[in-house]
Chains A and B, each alone.
Chain A
Amino acid sequence: MSIDAAQVGQIAHLARLAVDEQESEAHARNLSDILAFVDRLAEVDSKDVEPMAHPLEMTQRLRPDQVSEPNERERFQALAPSVSDGCYLVPRVIE
């Protein structure tokens, strides 16, 4: 499996990363090398191995449905670059 420059551009867009077009070829080569390395795992017969969802041999603990978090809006909003009327403000997004 290999990756071309166009796929690098697409992945970068999904991750909101700015990638210089001139560097795309180099990134494509590096990423392809990494995938080729990981691909060696495919040589192992894993037919009877259950896919691992988590490295710990434990299961999820459940929490009772009781309110435990108070309103701390003032503290959180002190960290935000811009707030108004209780809302966090972000550059305009329109659907």
Chain B
Amino acid sequence: MQWEAVIGLELHAQLATKTKIFSGAATAYGAEPNVQACAIDLGMPGVLPVLNERAVRYAVRLGLALDAEVAGRSVFARKNYFYPDLPKGYQISQYELPVVGQGHLDIDLEDGSIKRIGVTRAHLEEDAGKSLHEGFVGMSGIDLNRAGTPLLEIVSEPDLRSAREAVAYMKKMHALVRYLEICDGNMQEGSFRCDANVSVRPVGTEKFGTRTEIKNLNSFRFVDRAINYEIERQIEVLEAGGEIVQETRLFDSDRGETRPMRSKEEANDYRYFPDPDLLPLEIDSAFIDEVRAELPELPDVRRQRFVEQYGLSNYDAGVLTASRELADFFEIVAAQADAKLAANWVMGDFSAALNRTGVELNTSPISAQALGALVARITDNTISGKIAKEVFEVMWETGQEADAIIAERGLEQVTDAGAIEAVIDEVIAANPGQLEQYRAGKTKLMGFFVGQTMKASGGKANPQQVNEILKRKLDG
């Protein structure tokens, strides 16, 4: 039987606020345990939550970017469960009336087409603390610094049909929250996490199969592996005549498999009810207009502009706008040199150097200004593309400016026709045999002469001029 996977993702984005969603305690990452957990975060008796304006603003930003309806009125609810890292015995979340309603996000598929993925809703909630199981004999340590950190949970429709689509959607949303500057997107620190709902059904049927939920996936690779594993597992179970149990599963990245959480941990009856400590949140159109005015240029719009303004291919524009940092970097380079050449350098040698050395864009030894200055020297014929690669390597190693390296090492391209002609005369004189063959019709030897001339000039002769002059002399 042919099977089809049906996948929906719940993405949790930690909002980049300075303070908690309901308290004035700091949210800085990496602090000593419990120094950023105040009486409200600890659920001390008599405290009251007060909502952080910036968290609301950030939620609205995402809502507008997803072309979703921002709720004029939304309500906070208590989600009840017991776990040591949840001091109050409930998580404040939103249930029936979330702040962001139906929206959508377009993803690029492998075949070049675009697929629109529905976003069901996005709601505000607080994060839990962390349980530490190592280093305490017979006990668990609880660090509540993260408790109360604002989260935006973004729930997709079950529109995704493969692990690949799921990863494409997650990457697009990851880029979007960073464009919007509402989440730092740091997945290692848990700022952006994913739960995946997965089911399979026979191709051609409408009805969804029973789904399982894979919790807490914190890298794109794990999402890909966990979903693929889960799809295979479900198909195997069904083809053997078994049934899928609706359950929560964890992905074990060492073994590359998912396995059920113990049933006790998944008491899925959260008994939601409106939180009496919080009043309904009202968002008026003036606030929405204000947020709309502060939105940056969104990735899809920027991509289209790159195609039109710089004459880039849709694919290249997509690569360059995949992150706001890279798009900003490219535009600084392109401002100084030919845009297509700039794109090739940013996506080619420069990205390769980042990958090779594991350096992040923001700590690159070559700034966008400096790379632009290098590419400008190719555009204005000071150096050839080949020499530029050498200069680039030196820049990467030493942090020197392109012009300084070119001057210091005498790498300027030779464009003086007389000088090039002199070199060519020498090369021709030194290779009478090849000249004879060329003139006898073996014109492929042109390449040989070009190579010899470039070599003799130390790679500095302008290749275009070399070609022209050589052709004239050889044919003459």
Point out residues on A near B: beta carbons under 8 Å: 10, 13-14, 16, 51, 53-54, 56, 58-69, 71-73, 76-77, 82, 84-95
B139 to chain A: which residues have CB within 8 Å? 82, 84, 89-92
Alpha-carbon distance between A58 and B277 when the two chains are bound, in angstroms: 12
- Contact of A88 with B25 at beta-carbon distance under 8 Å, contacts A60-B281, A93-B131 already known: no
Interchain CB contact (< 8 A) of B279 among A16, A58, A63, A72: A58
Known pairs A65-B55, A76-B34, A92-B139. 18 more at Cβ < 8 A?
Answer: A10-B269, A14-B81, A14-B267, A53-B75, A53-B280, A54-B274, A54-B279, A60-B51, A61-B51, A64-B53, A66-B24, A76-B37, A85-B33, A87-B33, A87-B34, A89-B139, A89-B142, A94-B133
Can you pick out 15 interface pairs between chain A and chain B where the beta carbons lie within 8 Å of each other? A10-B269, A53-B97, A54-B280, A60-B51, A60-B279, A60-B281, A62-B53, A62-B56, A88-B84, A89-B139, A89-B140, A89-B142, A92-B136, A92-B140, A93-B131
- Contact of A68 with B131 at beta-carbon distance under 8 Å, contacts A60-B280, A95-B261 already known: no
Q: Mark contacts of B128-140 with chain A using CB atoms, 8 A cut-off: 1 yes-contact digit, 0 otherwise.
A: 0001110110111
Instruction: Tell me whether B109 is interfacial, beta carbon within 8 Å.
Output: no
Question: In the complex, how many angstroms separate the beta carbon of B85 from the nearest chain A beta carbon?
Answer: 9
Instruction: Tell me whether B195 is interfacial, beta carbon within 8 Å.
Output: no
- Contact of A53 with B274 at beta-carbon distance under 8 Å, contacts A65-B17, A68-B19, A89-B140 already known: yes
Q: Which residue of B lies closest to A82 (CB)?
A: B139
- Contact of A67 with B141 at beta-carbon distance under 8 Å, contacts A59-B281, A62-B56 already known: no
Instruction: Tell me whether B36 is interfacial, beta carbon within 8 Å.
Output: yes
Interchain CB contact (< 8 A) of A67 among B18, B136, B261: B18
Question: In the complex, how many angstroms separate the beta carbon of B135 from the nearest chain A beta carbon?
Answer: 7
Check B132–A69 contact: CB distance below 8 A. Answer: no
Give the interface SS of chain A, mostly helix, strand, loop or mixed.
loop
Q: Mark contacts of B240-277 with chain A using CB atoms, 8 A cut-off: 1 yes-contact digit, 0 otherwise.
A: 00000000001000000000010001010101001010
B261 to chain A: which residues have CB within 8 Å? 95
Instruction: Tell me whether B144 is interfacial, beta carbon within 8 Å.
Output: yes
Alpha-carbon distance between A59 and B51 when the two chains are bound, in angstroms: 11
Check B51–A63 contact: CB distance below 8 A. Answer: yes
Question: In the complex, how many angstroms separate the beta carbon of A77 from the nearest chain B beta carbon?
Answer: 7
Q: Which residue of B lies closest to A67 (CB)?
A: B26
- Contact of A65 with B53 at beta-carbon distance under 8 Å, contacts A71-B36, A88-B141 already known: yes
Interface residues on chain B, number (Cβ under 8 Å): 59
Q: Which residue of A lies closest to B135 (CB)?
A: A85
Check A88–B144 contact: CB distance below 8 A. Answer: yes
Check B267–A90 contact: CB distance below 8 A. Answer: no
A54 to chain B: which residues have CB within 8 Å? 274, 276, 278-280
B residues 26-44 touching A (CB-CB < 8 Å): 26, 32-40, 42, 44
Alpha-carbon distance between A62 and B57 when the two chains are bound, in angstroms: 11
Check A87–B136 contact: CB distance below 8 A. Answer: yes
B269 to chain A: which residues have CB within 8 Å? 10, 14
A73 to chain B: which residues have CB within 8 Å? 34-35, 37
Interchain CB contact (< 8 A) of B34 among A59, A61, A86, A91: A86
Q: Which residue of A lies closest to B129 (CB)?
A: A88
Instruction: Tell me whether B23 is interfacial, beta carbon within 8 Å.
Output: yes
Instruction: Tell me whether B88 is interfacial, beta carbon within 8 Å.
Output: no
Q: Which residue of B lies closest to A58 (CB)?
A: B279
Question: In the complex, how many angstroms separate the beta carbon of A25 from the nearest chain B beta carbon?
Answer: 22
Alpha-carbon distance between A84 and B278 when the two chains are bound, in angstroms: 34
B residues 121-179 touching A (CB-CB < 8 Å): 131-133, 135-136, 138-144
A51 to chain B: which residues have CB within 8 Å? 96
A53 to chain B: which residues have CB within 8 Å? 75, 97, 274, 279-280
Interchain CB contact (< 8 A) of A86 among B33, B53, B84: B33
Check A62–B51 contact: CB distance below 8 A. Answer: yes
Check A65–B35 contact: CB distance below 8 A. Answer: no
Interface centre among B54, B140, B250 (most CB of A within 10 A): B140
Q: Mark contacts of B395-429 with chain A using CB atoms, 8 A cut-off: 1 yes-contact digit, 0 otherwise.
A: 00000000000000000000000000000000000
Check B83–A67 contact: CB distance below 8 A. Answer: no
Check A61–B18 contact: CB distance below 8 A. Answer: no
Check B136–A59 contact: CB distance below 8 A. Answer: no
Q: Mark contacts of B65-107 with chain A using CB atoms, 8 A cut-off: 1 yes-contact digit, 0 otherwise.
A: 0000000010100001111100000000000110000000000
